[in-house]
Amino acid sequence: MKHYLTTILLLFPLMMQAQYKSLVWCPDNGDGTFTNPVINADYSDPDVCVGASGEDFYLTASSFNCIPGLPILHSKDLVNWKIVNHAVKALPPLERYNQPQHGNGVWAPSIRYNQNNQTYYIYWGDPDLGVFVTTAKDPEGEWTEPQCVIEGKGMIDTTPLWDDDGKCYLVNGWANSRCQFNSVLTVREMSADGMKQIGNPVIVFDGNGTEDRTAEGPKFYKRDGWYWIMCPAGGVPIGHQLAMRSKSPFGPYESKRVLAMGNTNINGPHQGGWVHLKSGEDWFLHFQDKEAYGRVVWLEPVEWKDNWPVMGEKAKNYCGQPVLKYKKPNVVKTYPIENPVESDEFNTIQMGKQWQWHANYQQTFGMPTPYGYMRVFCHKQSEDYKNMWEAGNLLLQKTPADNFTATAKIRLSAKDEGQYGGITVFGMDYQALVLKRVGDAFQLQQITCKNADKGKPEEVKTLATLKATEKDKVDYQPAIHCDAYLRLKVSYVGGKNADGTNKHEASVEFAWSKDGKKYESVGDKFTMRQGKWIGAKIGIMAAEPAGKKVRGWVDVDWFRITK
């Protein structure tokens, strides 16, 4: 472990200023071009706005039950992105979201800057509770506590529009799973501050019974006197992007398909945000569903033709297709390469912004330290424990690329029998490589669970028996400790789906080492699987049997992403 506090504190300002360049995915080619995706990680349902200066771009995305929620990413050129904040520290109501609520919570948010009061807004729909909003004067600063502005079930994918006269309108989609209808978009008037509904919803688009079924995820804009709603349709895996326009926020709207897969293998290119640059250029950020990897973010050029936004390249009838490599947006200056942070040395007293828990944070989940490690306490399993789908203390981050290796140096401090912890790839199926106390020794185990979301039990395979690295010298609540380097390697398998699109399948292999130099491959291969509305995530798990015994923990010295 690293115990040099003085050195850490001296290095802290330098670490905070440094630009992070990923070893496994960097979209900036360094020659004035970029390669898609610009964020090869699960920032599902992305939305973006231009900041107050006109030179900053802020992106947020769905975070569902993961906390901290509503990630805020910043960019100067739409290609290089940095995680700078989270807008939600805890989801209300606490009694609901203090427990894991997989797939619930924050659905398809929108981020907007309201010039009328110089305030940033993020709206989202919680499909079970209603429409929520949080605000901030600085997107990298403090955001207000989430406030429910419209109560009710089924409202999702909400976006506000402040009109030239100061009036505010809200567009949203509907979740069939909650209200038994979908494929329609509605607009209603809000109070000028956007905090209260003052008009009833009006259906402005209906995709039922057409190729534009599953119309959802709408974004609201105004350009040259025209009201624009841009939305995905046709379904997540193989759908397309629509643009619709009207002279009134309440329609009627005419629509065109403006982005689709075309002759590429980029399935379902849709749902995102349009931005207009000072240089006069227009760009569109959207997602591609890559199954177990989640929904990654693509950047498309936008050209206006006959007052329609044609996205991508090689347009036919106003509909373009995704670009793989393209010139970077014209933002006048050239900015340094920077990617969302992945690796973590745990050298600060703030948890890295790449990490999220699977429920509202509680202190018994874990804590950072000033000593160069992160402590994750063991989850107390329920009396009828089936699997870790019940655990909120999973310390996880998004997968950063198609192919990568994640390695963690950990110490398990076990105060009682059965306490364990280690590295995991987690979704509706999951697998973990852990150290577990058995008697006065430790076992290296592989834990595998298929259909965790359906309550299926885990399978455990013992791979090796290890001696304790160290034992406490005192008699009071003594622990025995085991150190190890644990590793997982994710490899893209690929293949084709029945519809001809790419199959985004990935294989996972585990390895371990005593000294961090020589690694031994262990256990069975595993096919990575997504979580509930999110991609598979990687990180640390720790647990122990139910009961009132003294809790154990895992200290993570570092977690590194490499090729």
Tell me the mean pLDDT in the region 134-155. Answer: 98
> If you average pLDDT over every residue of the chain, what do you get?
96
CB 282 within 8 A of CB 295: no
CA distance 66 to 91: 9
pLDDT of residue 15: 44
- Is it the case that residue 498 has pLDDT exceeding 80? no
pLDDT of residue 209: 97
The CA-atom distances, in angstroms, between 111 and each of 49, 185, 456, 541 are 6, 19, 38, 32
Q: Which amino acid is at 531?
A: G
Bridge pairing between strands 379-380 and 81-88: unpaired
Residue 531 backbone class (left: φ over 0; alpha: ψ -120 to 50; beta: rest): beta
User: Could you tell me the pLDDT band of residue 496, with boundaries at 50, 70 and 90?
Assistant: confident
Bridge pairing between strands 319-321 and 325-327: unpaired
CB 231 within 8 A of CB 218: yes
pLDDT > 90 fraction of the chain, expressed in percent and rounded:
95
pLDDT of residue 14: 38
pLDDT of residue 16: 45
For 79-119, how does the pLDDT look when each residue is reduced to its tens digit (9 = 90+)? 999 999 999 999 999 999 999 999 999 999 999 999 999 99
Point out which residues pair with 19 in neighbouring strands.
none
Residue 326: closest CA among 36, 26, 21: 36
User: Could you tell me the pLDDT band of residue 6, with boundaries at 50, 70 and 90?
Assistant: very low
Size of the chain in residues? 563
The CA-atom distances, in angstroms, between 129 and each of 44, 47, 124 are 21, 22, 11
Tell me the mean pLDDT in the region 365-387. Answer: 98
Tell me the mean pLDDT in the region 461-481. Answer: 96
User: Could you tell me the pLDDT band of residue 18, with boundaries at 50, 70 and 90?
Assistant: confident
- Is it the case that residue 13 has pLDDT exceeding 80? no
pLDDT > 70 fraction of the chain, expressed in percent and rounded:
97
Q: What are the backbone dihedrals phi and psi of residue 16, each rounded to the nearest 5 degrees, phi first?
A: -70, -30
pLDDT of residue 412: 98
Q: What is the CA angle 375-560-368, rounded to 5?
A: 20
Q: What are the backbone dihedrals phi and psi of residue 427, each rounded to the nearest 5 degrees, phi first?
A: -155, -155
User: Could you tell me the pLDDT band of residue 494, with boundaries at 50, 70 and 90?
Assistant: confident
Q: Provide the token pair at 363.
A: 């202190």
Q: Provide the token pair at 496.
A: 């084709």
User: Could you tell me the pLDDT band of residue 10, with boundaries at 50, 70 and 90?
Assistant: very low
- Is it the case that residue 290 has pLDDT exceeding 60? yes
CA atoms within 13 A on the CB side of 163: 17
- Is it the case that residue 182 has pLDDT exceeding 80? yes
For 238-288, how does the pLDDT look when each residue is reduced to its tens digit (9 = 90+)? 999 999 999 999 999 999 999 999 999 999 999 999 999 999 999 999 999
